[in-house]
Each structure stands twice: as structure tokens, then as C-alpha cells.
């Protein structure tokens, strides 16, 4: 792991204002646009060191468990719901053309890739965690690759649908990764970005209570490094050459977007359900969702 000072990924300003420190990591925000991030940021390689660090986080540890038919069924339902929106945004009927060419960035052990393959899609998954990739390959026999997305070697314009679910908050370089997403999207291709919402009601409540910031996108650094609001996410997407179509917030129990593990965890916290629904109604849901496509070359 190496740590480097970074500029704001949303607006490019080099105007980081520290607000707190946790276990040696500095959390702050961009004075120009308000993006919350960790600076200096760690840059990880695909190595067992990264796998072991990831396993320290409870919601990552679950990925090392067997991928059950129940999990695969959940992923299939989610992908089919996603496909409806993809085909709508592409202006095509759901049964038009060949099978969907799908890329899952930050695929973990590859449950979504296995589900996509079962649907007849041409599916690839990429992740930095070599242990998860090895376990997923052994269980599912699908195309999972342990490589940084910026070094993936995949051809430009290769994918109709790219998903980054609970990924960009982990990245020290989300702008560069989103530029790569634009390159990998086929003309008319669609990207789905799902991430915790910095403007969510629980985060706002902690800020109003003037509690010291110890979390970035709901967990301590260095596991999460960026925390986006709808405005800072849209700004980053546009800077990367992507066109946001729809930006919304939702709850941790929305099966269209969250992982099966997060869905199950939400179901074990029924008392929080009303608070999450209030947040969503107010546009301050805990989960931020954006659908985006390629800007035309030369478009503003």
C-alpha cells in the first residue's frame, strides 16, 4: 500500500480542508465543492494484504461464505430489474439484440456475475481481492479477474451495462475509474453507480449533533475513502465524460440496488425502516443511485 495526496475528484480543486483524524487517517472536504474524502489516500494493489484488510470489515467477510442459490436468485432478480432500466434508457425493447454484455467492477466473489451468466449474459467481473476472486472462480466457474480496472486490458466499447455497486466510496481515484468506465461503455451503454449518500438523513443527523466525524460513507477509513452527495457525484460523473440520466436516493432495504447481505442486515433492523423511508421521501435516503451513459464526444 502507498498513500498519496490527491486533489478533489469532483471539481479538481487542490483545496482540501481537514476536519478530523481517525487512526492516522485524515478526513476532510473540498473547500470548493464540498466533496468529503480521505487525504492522503491509500492506493492498494491486488495482494493478500488487501484481502486480509478487507476481511476485517464484517460486510466484506460475508463474501467469503458459500454463494448459495438464495444469493444467486436475489442477484438474478436485481439484474432483471436493472435490465428494465438499462433497456429503457437505451431506447430499446427488452428483447432487442444479443445478450447483454455486462461488467461488474468490484465484483467480490462474483455472485452477480454468476447470476448474469445464468441469464445468458456475456459477463465479466473485476476485483482487487485475490482471495475473493479465487473463491468465486472455484464456486461459479465464471470470468472473474483480479486486476485494477485501470489495467484491465478490456477493449474500448465492450459493454452495454457496467455496474459499480458499493465501489466508488472505496476508490482513491474515482474520477480515473469513471473515465475508464466511459471508455469501456459501448455507444448507448449504461453505467449504474450505487454508493452511500453523504446527504443521507443519518449522516445529517450526526453532523447536526456536532459529533466528531469518524466515518466516511458509513465506515471508518481506509476502507472507504470518498463520501458523495448527489451534487458531488453528478459533478464527478460529468467531469469523467459521463452523462447522468437519473439520480435518486433510496433505502438500505431496496432490493433493486443493495447487496443481498445489506438487504438481510436491513431486515434485521426493522426499527430503522421508518427513518430510512422518511429520508427517502425527503430526498435524503441513505443510498445514492445514479444511472449514467457516455457523453457524445465534444459534448459539454
pLDDT digits (tens, 9 = 90+) for 45-98: 999 988 998 888 776 788 899 999 999 999 999 999 999 999 999 886 555 556
Q: What is the mean pLDDT of residues 162-171?
A: 97
The domain limits of the chain are: 43-294
Distance CA 45, CA 89 (A): 35
Q: Domain 43-294 has what CATH class?
A: alpha beta
User: Which range is least confidently modeled, 96-100, 163-167, 243-247?
Assistant: 96-100
Q: In whole angstroms, what is the distance from residue 8 CA to residue 99 CA?
A: 38
144 forms bridges with which residues in the sheet?
A: 125
Torsion sign across C-alpha atoms 197, 203, 208, 214: negative
Please say whether the beta carbons of 182 and 241 come within 8 A: yes
Q: Considering the entire predicted model, what is its pTM?
A: 0.94
Residue 269: band (very low, low, confident or very high) from pLDDT cuts 50, 70, 90: confident
In this predicted structure, the answer to whether residue 21 has a pLDDT above a threshold of 80 is yes
Amino acid at each position: 500500500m502507498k498513500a498519496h495526496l490527491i486533489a478533489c475528484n469532483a471539481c479538481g480543486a487542490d483545496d482540501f480542508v481537514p476536519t478530523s483524524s481517525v487512526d492516522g487517517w485524515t478526513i476532510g472536504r473540498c473547500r470548493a465543492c464540498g466533496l468529503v474524502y480521505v487525504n492522503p489516500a491509500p492506493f492498494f494493489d491486488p495482494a493478500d494484504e488487501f484481502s486480509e484488510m478487507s476481511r476485517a470489515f464484517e460486510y466484506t467477510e460475508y463474501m467469503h461464505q458459500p454463494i448459495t442459490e438464495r444469493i444467486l436468485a436475489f442477484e438474478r432478480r436485481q439484474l432483471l430489474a436493472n435490465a428494465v432500466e438499462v433497456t429503457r434508457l437505451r431506447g430499446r425493447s427488452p428483447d432487442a439484440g444479443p445478450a447483454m454484455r455486462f461488467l461488474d467492477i468490484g465484483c467480490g466473489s462474483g455472485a452477480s456475475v454468476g447470476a448474469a451468466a445464468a441469464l445468458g449474459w456475456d459477463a465479466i467481473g473485476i476485483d482487487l481481492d485475490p482471495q475473493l476472486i479465487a473463491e468465486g472462480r472455484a464456486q461459479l466457474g465464471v470470468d472473474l479477474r483480479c486486476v485494477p480496472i485501470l489495467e484491465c486490458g478490456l477493449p474500448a466499447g465492450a459493454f452495454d451495462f457496467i455496474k459499480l455497486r458499493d465501489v466508488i466510496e472505496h476508490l482513491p481515484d474515482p474520477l480515473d475509474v469513471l473515465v475508464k468506465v466511459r471508455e469501456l461503455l459501448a455507444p448507448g451503454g449504461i453505467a449504474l453507480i450505487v454508493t452511500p449518500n453523504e446527504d443521507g438523513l443519518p449522516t445529517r443527523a450526526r453532523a447536526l449533533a456536532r459529533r466528531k466525524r469518524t466515518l466516511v460513507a458509513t465506515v471508518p477509513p481506509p476502507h472507504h475513502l470518498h463520501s458523495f452527495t448527489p451534487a458531488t457525484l453528478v459533478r464527478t460523473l460529468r467531469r469523467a465524460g459521463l452523462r447522468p440520466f437519473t439520480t435518486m436516493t433510496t433505502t438500505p432495504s431496496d432490493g433493486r440496488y443493495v447487496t443481498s447481505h445489506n438487504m438481510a442486515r436491513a431486515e434485521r433492523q426493522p426499527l430503522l425502516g421508518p427513518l430510512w423511508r422518511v429520508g427517502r421521501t425527503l430526498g435524503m435516503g441513505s443510498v445514492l443511485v445514479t444511472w449514467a451513459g457516455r457523453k457524445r464526444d465534444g459534448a459539454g
